[in-house]
A = this chain, B = another copy of it.
Amino acid sequence: VVPRGSHRPAPSRPLWVLGADIGGTKIVAGLVDPAGAVRARHRREVPSDRDPEGVLRATADCLAACRAEAPEAPRAIGVGVAGQVEPGTGTVRYAPNLRWRDVPLGSRLGELSGLPVAVANDVRTITLGEWRFGEGRGCRNLLCLFVGTGIGGGAVIDGRLAEGAAHALGEVGHTPLVADGRPCHCPNRGCLEAYVGGWAIAERVRELAAREPAARGLIARAGGIDRIEPRTVELAAREGDPFASAFVHERAEEFATGLVGLVNAFNPERVVVGGKIVEGFPEYLAAARRAVAERCQPPAAAAEIRGSRLHADAGILGAAHLARELFAARRRLR
């Protein structure tokens, strides 16, 4: 129940609100004060069967824990969820990670909490959080990329959070890096995500380790080829393991090449890059800065590349911002 065409600065009201982020494995929620600071945080595991009613109750419980710490009653709830959301109703049409179809998340959470609830896709709430409260503050044209298990993104274009035909503008992980290349988890091959996202890193480092004698140290550290994870590579690279360092360097260059194309296409003034892979591999940011400055078209090359500093709070703050906007919009209607 996000009012369409909103996302303009909400009139500043001294409102306390709640923001939550429902991912495939965990739920985080926060209490956000009128100045936009997160004043309490709670988290819950997503029940392993991912049953909608169980996830809804866990989310309501997590929000209630935040609410209990509020010095003043929160007036609205915002939720980001990893799926396609119908903004008018807050219904989750399709959430592959949660294996949901047509879950009325907004209306059920409204019943459980007694508060108005705004729901949006999590990448959109995170982009909103970075734009309003994070490294994207003040930009009229911002591109956000989040490199975790997959790669997601969102964009602010000419001063508004961009939606696209199906609220999916910014799916930057599924632009080609290598035509006809490695199979992706999407219906295509050769996508950026299939080269430098978390699942691809795990897959590729194991493939390489199986035939590279230099990977012995990494394999030993992980306790077997199939146990090598992005985090193992990160730790090994930090300690100077040459195989891991070279691997990270190559992925960073691939990421940078993809980013050059996205910056040419979107012409943002700034790019904010976040997610656990970028946090683990700061080489991604360094390579991206160099590549954008040297290899973008002249007008696009001026884009500034920054790492997210809000981390998990971006989703809470963006969702809380939606909550604030929803409350303001309802008040205007009265």
Chain A contact residues, CB within 8 Å of chain B: 5, 84, 94, 140-141, 153, 157-158, 160, 162-172, 174-180, 186-188, 190-191, 254, 257-258, 260-262, 264-269, 294-303
Contacts and interface: CB of A to CB of B under 8 A. Distances in A.
A140 B165 contact: yes
A68 B303 CA distance: 46
Given A153-B265, A170-B265, A172-B265, 5 more contacts: A158-B164, A168-B267, A186-B295, A187-B296, A188-B260
B260 A169 contact: no
A167 B158 CA distance: 10
Contact of A254 (B140, B179, B265): B179
Nearest to A269: B165
A265 B267 contact: no
Contacts of A300: 165-166, 168, 171
A178 B168 CA distance: 24
Copies of this subunit: 2
Task: Find the residue from A140, A158, A298 having the highest chain B CB count within 10 A.
Answer: A158
Given A84-B299, A188-B260, A188-B295, A266 B164 contact: yes
B166 A299 contact: yes
A169 B258 contact: no
Given A141-B165, A170-B265, A187-B294, A179 B180 contact: no
Given A5-B158, A141-B164, A257 B170 contact: no
